[in-house]
Amino acid sequence: MTDFAFRASAGLMANASRFALLTLTLLLLASCSGNDNDPKTDTDQDVSSETSSSDGGADAQSDDSQTADAATDAGGIEQDTASPKEVLTPRSLRFTDNFTSLWGSGPDNIWWVGSKGRVLHYNGSVLLPRDAGTDKDLYSVWGRGPKDVWVAGDGVVLHYNGNQWIDRTPAEFKSVVFRAVHAPIDNSTLLIGGDDGIILRVLESGKIVKENTNSALKIRSIRAIGIGNVWAVGDKGQALRLSGGTWSSVPLPKANEDLHGLANSPDGRLYTVGIDGFVAATENKVWEATLTNDPKSRDLFGVWAVSEKEAWAVGKDGALIHHIGTKWNLRDIDGTYMKTKTFRAVWGQAKEPLYAYAIGDGGAGIRYDSINDKWLDFRAETTAHLNAATALSDGRIVVPGDGGVLLQAKDATSDFVDLGVAVTGTNLRDACDDGKGGFWAVGDAALTVHVDASGTPTIHLLEAVAGQRLTGATLVDGQVIAVGHGGVAVRKTADGWQSESTGAQFNLNAVASHKDEAWAVGEFGTIVHRKADGSWVKEASGESFNLHRIVVWDDGAVAVGDNGLVLLRSEGKWTKVFESPGLFLYGVTRRTDGKVIAVGWKGTLVVGQGDTWSAVDSGLPNVLLDIAATGSDAVVVGHKGGIYQLGEDIK
């Protein structure tokens, strides 16, 4: 049974007899006891430059994913219907940009680039946005390794060094549109092609030099087969070839229109595609045009060579053609949504395990299922569950989620970008301020991630609670406290992490603090209070339903949970102020106006202050997992990459 399903079922069962509850408790304790990793020529011109394009930090409930799908699969962020702005406005991580190129060093490290500076990164589990520090249109991406990735765009050349994106655009070429980048298999060099026949060479040292092509060709694609063997294609069926150290123009046979895509197979065979369904390939190093067998002769923009005898090409209006042996044949895309999309690029890994992706306009994406020989929907969106939202003291919002997702926004109204922490496959559950300009995130298998003020992440596995799932974190009097399954609590000190005894018998789900005190909540109505002296004591909630989140302020606190429970703490006692059978509340925050807002099942919110509380239907079917507020602005997160803006005037 998943945690999410467990919480839901436990909440519903609490209306049964006390005997049944005790029996369920013992069974669950038993089942949960085992809780969950090139040489420069004399005529080359030195045009190297390097300036940072970012501030240095931007790149630096998985068990729940099988639950509540009745709510999410029926809609979730799959439906773009906007809810009333006074309640929730979707800010989903679905990207409708025009994507133009993709490349990866492996199945868990793939980059997409596109319009208006959009860069996405696929970590093998989740597709996430990265901050490349530009809003220029990007046309091509290639790399020489996971920490050596290059992007060409409209007056911009970017380099990713494993931590951040750096602007490497030579000053004299900031008005040039660069549309192509490629490195040979030996990574000995890297070439960037653009308008007016301009080709830049990036040496192994990182130095950038200009090639002398004596051409004005608008270069759209380039392929370096090896040192001294390079091809580039562009407008009006023209190509450039580097051979013996000299560039020369080569018209391709029967090519009268623009050429857009160029690819080489591992054994050196070249394929190119272009307007009106033009395709050509080299046969014994001689170009020969062939037929695509597409009766519509749709424009083709991208091509990927699997081998000497196999290639894929993509293009306008869902064009997908497959070269196998000696013929090109039309192929179908599964489903209906992607069949008419325009695809700009296709790329993959030719060796086992074979994988490939094609991307294009409006966030279009498909992936190749090599086992079943099918192309499936893989649109540009983040579908991971987002488990928490934390407002830091400087106004930033941090969102941890499944599959190692760790997003950050400058404030509640800014775009979220992934921080690129290498914890793929491990779910992050909560985050808190570190009091020094950074923050901590905690998650499964005793994982913690510290992101310092400069944006540099450090990953830790806590021996003090080895293997335990950490579900909540908070800053208490300058020290970070984390809680989790088995009722564990750990405190960050100068000497490392130290365990604390909470006295809790059941799993703790969240913790919150004010000044030098903290409260943690968990299963079966568990509430424990960490006093100023560091000791933990139990507090009576009067309830047996699971509690999932808590918020604390000067003279009060609110805890929320299953059965729509809202508990208010006043003068040291907890009182039930709201209840709604069948409703599950997973997140809660308090705005500066004193209004408390809880979020949960099927897009429901509970809003209140003092003794007045009411449920609000947002009109969204998604499961909402948490909410964070900065002043009057608030962000809500939930299942399947759901991010929403909360209206200020919510009643």
Q: What is the pLDDT of residue 226?
A: 76
User: Lowest-confidence range among 74-78, 264-268, 543-547, 548-552?
Assistant: 74-78
Distance CA 597, CA 574 (A): 18
**Average pLDDT in the 623-631 region?**
93
- Give me the chain's average pLDDT, please: 87
Is residue 96 within 8 Å of residue 129, measured between CB atoms?
A: no
- Please say if the pLDDT value at position 68 is more than 60: no
- Please say if the pLDDT value at position 70 is more than 50: no
Q: What is the pLDDT of residue 620?
A: 87
Q: What is the pLDDT of residue 80?
A: 32
Distance CA 165, CA 311 (A): 32
First-last CA distance in the chain: 37
Confidence of residue 611 (pLDDT cuts 50, 70, 90): confident
Distance CA 221, CA 262 (A): 6
Q: Quick one: CA torsion of 212, 215, 221, 227, rounded to 10 degrees?
A: -30
Q: Quick one: CA torsion of 315, 323, 229, 181, rounded to 10 degrees?
A: 30
**Average pLDDT in the 310-317 region?**
98
| Residue matched to tokens 């996430």 | 128
Q: What is the pLDDT of residue 422?
A: 83
CA 390, chain centre distance (Å)? 17
* DSSP 8-state secondary structure symbol assigned to residue 39: P
Q: What is the pLDDT of residue 69?
A: 35
Q: What is the pLDDT of residue 4?
A: 44
- Please say if the pLDDT value at position 92 is more than 90: no
What residues pair up with 484 in beta bridges, in sequence order?
Answer: 470
**Residue 356, SS3?**
strand
Question: Residue 278 — left, alpha, or beta (φ > 0 → left; ψ -120 to 50 → alpha)?
Answer: beta
- Please say if the pLDDT value at position 56 is more than 70: no
The sign of the dihedral angle between the CA atoms of 331, 337, 342, 347 is negative
Is residue 292 within 8 Å of residue 285, measured between CB atoms?
A: no
Tell me the per-residue pLDDT of 438-468, one tens digit each, with 9 for 90 and over: 999 999 999 999 999 999 999 999 988 888 9
Give the strands of the sheet with 406-409, arranged side by side. Answer: 390-391, 397-400, 406-409, 417-418
Q: What is the pLDDT of residue 22?
A: 37
CA 519, chain centre distance (Å)? 32
Rounded (5°) CA angle 435-438-442: 95
Tell me the per-residue pLDDT of 383-414, one tens digit each, with 9 for 90 and over: 999 999 999 999 999 999 999 999 999 998 89
- Please say if the pLDDT value at position 562 is more than 90: yes
Confidence of residue 50 (pLDDT cuts 50, 70, 90): very low
Kindly give the pairing relationship between strand 238-243 and strand 496-501. Answer: unpaired
Distance CA 178, CA 218 (A): 9
Kindly give the pairing relationship between strand 109-114 and strand 119-122. Answer: antiparallel
**Average pLDDT in the 527-550 region?**
98
* Helix (H) or strand (E) run with residue 499 in it: strand 496-501
Is residue 405 within 8 Å of residue 382, measured between CB atoms?
A: yes
**Residue 72, SS3?**
helix
Q: What is the pLDDT of residue 176?
A: 98
- Please say if the pLDDT value at position 544 is more than 50: yes
**Residue 387, SS3?**
coil
Cis check for the bond before 353: say yes or no (omega within 30 of 0).
yes
Length of the chain counted residue by residue? 651
Listed residue (543, 469, 538, 544) closest to 510, CA to CA: 469
- Phi–psi pair at 316, nearest 5 degrees: -70, 145
Distance CA 181, CA 142 (A): 6
Tell me the per-residue pLDDT of 19-42, one tens digit each, with 9 for 90 and over: 344 343 433 333 333 333 333 333
Go through the domains of the chain in sequence order and give each one's CATH number: 95-251 (2.130.10.10), 285-380 (2.40.10), 390-594 (2.120.10.80)
The sign of the dihedral angle between the CA atoms of 332, 333, 336, 337 is negative
In whole angstroms, how far apart are CA 3 and each of 61, 68, 205, 532?
8, 11, 51, 32
**Residue 20, SS3?**
helix
Written in H, E and C, the secondary structure of 273-300 is EEHHHCEEEEECCEEEEECCCCCCCCCE
- Please say if the pLDDT value at position 67 is more than 50: no
User: Lowest-confidence range among 48-62, 132-146, 386-400?
Assistant: 48-62
The percent of residues in the chain predicted with pLDDT above 90, rounded, is: 74
Contact partners, residue 358, CB within 8 Å, separation at least 6: 302, 312, 314, 320, 343, 345, 346, 347, 365, 366, 375
User: Lowest-confidence range among 64-78, 194-208, 623-637?
Assistant: 64-78
| Residue matched to tokens 């007056």 | 155
Q: What is the pLDDT of residue 86?
A: 56
Q: How many CB atoms lie within 10 A of CB 24?
A: 17
**Can you list the positions of beta strands (E) in 107-218?**
109-114, 119-122, 127-130, 138-145, 148-153, 156-160, 165-167, 178-182, 190-194, 199-202, 208-210
Distance CA 534, CA 513 (A): 13
Distance CA 394, CA 381 (A): 28
Q: What is the pLDDT of residue 647?
A: 79
**Average pLDDT in the 223-244 region?**
91
**Average pLDDT in the 499-522 region?**
97
Q: How many CB atoms lie within 10 A of CB 651?
A: 9
- Please say if the pLDDT value at position 286 is more than 60: yes
Confidence of residue 649 (pLDDT cuts 50, 70, 90): low
**Average pLDDT in the 316-330 region?**
96
- Phi–psi pair at 237, nearest 5 degrees: 70, 15
Distance CA 207, CA 328 (A): 41
Q: What is the pLDDT of residue 651?
A: 61
Give the strands of the sheet with 300-307, arranged side by side. Answer: 300-307, 310-315, 320-324, 327-330
Rg (CA), the chain: 28
Distance CA 302, CA 348 (A): 12
- Please say if the pLDDT value at position 9 is more than 50: no
Kindly give the pairing relationship between strand 496-501 and strand 488-493. Answer: antiparallel
